Structure 1
Amino acid sequence: MDPHDLVVVTGRRLQRVEDVLDGWFDVASARGERFGSHHAHLIENLRRNTSGGKRFRPRMVLTAFETLGGGDLEIAARVAAAFELLHTALIVHDDVIDRDFVRRGQPNVSGSYRDRATTAGISLPLAEHRGMSVAVIAGDLALAGAYRLVDGCGADELTRGRLIELLDDAVSAAAAGEFADVDFSMHNTMPTVDEVIEMERLKTAWYSFEAPLQAGAVVAGAGLATIDALGRFGRNIGIAYQIVDDVLGVFGEEDVTGKSAVGDLREGKRTVLIAHAATRPEWDAVRHLFGSADLDQEDAACIREVLVASGARTYAERLASDFANRAWEALAEDSVPASTRAELAPVVRSVLERTR
């Protein structure tokens, strides 16, 4: 599923977000020069790792803002850019947690500084530690930038306070979700389906869908009923989106998804798909394979067979459809204008189509 195809926002509005991001990086780079070349280089590395994304979260902000009749694009663009910087911060830190050194086929922040260290003759273990340490610092800078953009967005004090609160909640939720995900991996016991759903809502759905939509609505001056409905839409469609993503991570075609169909199984990633399968007797046959660092294509095929035979795949797909339908119910409420509903309806349809 390509988020870029889900919501269409006019190029002029998205370009303004790009301008805001470029401006933030320019200022941060200039400030960095005061603290030495290493700091300035780090900002430019972070800029490279932020560019080229699909800008899905800014699209969420701008879609709510535009369809709800928002008037001040400058404020909306700065808030939208803040959510993109938040996304950057979280994925940079997530790569550290997962010990990943590549993203989108290119070295990420950790990978870039690991490679610089190995080129300088530092041993690989120390180089990897250096790369991950620098990435923690880079993620902190991006997170601080997100708050700086919202604080200086130009909105009145009341609106700015509400936006900061939304950002606070998104950051806290992401931290709680990430902690739960890490905690799951530390235990041999499998979390329940409900526990996985809550983790995925906190870790991804909240900051990717729920908060950006509500932030755009706040900037547009929408009423509380509308803001609440969009939050529930974002929460449910975000969960549905993540469940589908997890199913595709195991059953998707790699040349289409751009993601390994073995990686999640080798990593032992706790998803709705796996949590449900683990409650079925069929799971005993492949339990020892799940999470094995030596998992190969043949072993992965065996696990997939069990996920189908146990009904786990069907269960996950139906659950995703259920959450997508809940999202549609929120979108269909009277407090959501027809223009907003029409723009966000393709998100629901896309999720439902991918679960059939």
Structure 2
Amino acid sequence: MTMTAAAIHEDMGTRIEEALRRRFVHHSAAAEAYGSEFAALWRAAADHSLGGKLVRPRLLLDIHHALTPGDVGSATLTPAAVEVAAHIELLHYAFLLHDDVIDGDLTRRKRPNLIGALAAGTPAATEEDALHWARSSAILMGDLLLTAAVMGFARADVPADVRSRLLDLVEETIVETVAGEHTDVALSHGIIAPDLTTILSMSVYKTATYSFSLPLRAAALLSGSSVSAERTLTSVGRHIGLAYQLQDDLLCVFGDHRAHGKDAFSDLREGKETAIIAYARSTDAWDDIAPRFGSAELSMRDAEGLRDQLRACGAEAFVTDLVGDQLDAVHTLLADAQLTGEIGADAAHTILSTVSRLEGRRA
């Protein structure tokens, strides 16, 4: 029986959600043995992690489907692929929890995140006590989800050699993501110099590795693709991920916050070191920009003034061109991979569909 592409995509989302719910139900039930508060933490984590866009697990299953031999239009999702995809989403949520603690955030997408919700619902003596409880809980839940993700890879119903390579992949992913986050914090406190090369490397490690290279490489491993195909998909994921992060930076400064949902000019208030700022530092405009960059009291009017200066000095155009370079590199890599037979037309088309959604992205 064949299925349309839309039906297959919908089935993917349903199966990922079901796998995630099973994981949370299992962990919540097991947590009861350690007290009601601990079980409640698992249930709260489930409430905040379920119902997302599932970008990373969907990418894995889309590519796995495209790489796996079978009849056109047939659903070739294996239980192992669905489980690995679900555990990639758990890894994502673990990173988000730790990121919210590091950044001191209480909201995500204009609603309370896990920390904000726990702090608001905690009958602590003081607000400080409530925040400490909530942030501590987020750190611990992030640790638990990180462990659950790794164990999910380890328990995947795949041949031993594939499991070993999956574990190497998830270890490499965690190390690179943590290294990227560590560099990001160092940049924000002026511990290391904010040069363009360092900022771009940080973006690849912090965002591209786990958001794009991980699901693409996992799909290749699970479908039995060649080592050369996996290597190509690693590079493709890095270029897509860097383009995605650079677009995020552009949206925060130059985009419409009503469309993208991020706090307007938050990067400018926080003094976030991005490729936009790295370029601006190299121009004569920096002397005028520097005094207001990183001011928590930055007014909307001043922020709009900074935006206009960043645009006038060429920073917006420079980073927009960087995004274009990354997407061009993806097209070139996939064209070459099809010529050599490393990656088939279906997989290349699926990846390019993802790239097309990035082009002209507003949110």
TM-score normalised by L of structure 1: 0.94
Q: Is the 8 A contact 1:201 1:235 kept in 2?
A: yes
Matches within 5 A, 1:1-356: 10-69=9-68, 71=76, 73-117=78-122, 120-187=123-190, 191-332=194-335, 333-334=337-338, 335-354=342-361
Residues of 2 paired with 1:131 and 1:34: CA distance? 21
Q: Is the 8 A contact 1:262 1:296 kept in 2?
A: no
- 1:341 is paired with a residue whose SS is helix
Bigger RCO of structures 1 and 2 (CA < 8 A, at least 6 apart): 1
**Deviation string, structure 1 residues 17-63 (Cα, Å, up to 9, x no partner):** 11111111111011101111111111101101111210000011111
Alpha carbons of structure 1 residues 312 and 190: separation in structure 2 relative to 1, 3 Å: farther
Residues of 2 paired with 1:285 and 1:311: CA distance? 15
Shift of 1:188: 7.6
- Aligned letter for 1:103? R
RMSD: 1.7
Shift of 1:123: 1.5
- Aligned letter for 2:84? V
Structure 2 residue runs of 5 or longer lacking an equivalent are 1-5, 70-75
- 2:34 is paired with a residue whose SS is coil
Residues of 2 paired with 1:167 and 1:148: CA distance? 10
Shift of 1:8: 9.3
Shift of 1:351: 2.9
Alpha carbons of structure 1 residues 62 and 287: separation in structure 2 relative to 1, 3 Å: same
Residues of 2 paired with 1:194 and 1:179: CA distance? 16
Q: Is the 8 A contact 1:283 1:306 kept in 2?
A: no
Corresponding pairs, count: 347
Shift of 1:190: 5.1
Q: Is the 8 A contact 1:237 1:348 kept in 2?
A: yes
Shift of 1:281: 1.1
Partner of 1:4: none
- Aligned letter for 1:347? T
- Aligned letter for 1:310? C
Residues of 1 paired with 2:155 and 2:19: CA distance? 12
Q: Percent of aligned pairs with the same residue? A: 35
- Aligned letter for 1:107? P
TM-score normalised by L of structure 2: 0.92
Shift of 1:110: 1.1
**Deviation string, structure 1 residues 84-119 (Cα, Å, up to 9, x no partner):** 0000000011000000011122221211221123xx
**Deviation string, structure 1 residues 162-209 (Cα, Å, up to 9, x no partner):** 111111111111100000000001118751111111001000110000
Partner of 1:3: none
Shift of 1:330: 1.5
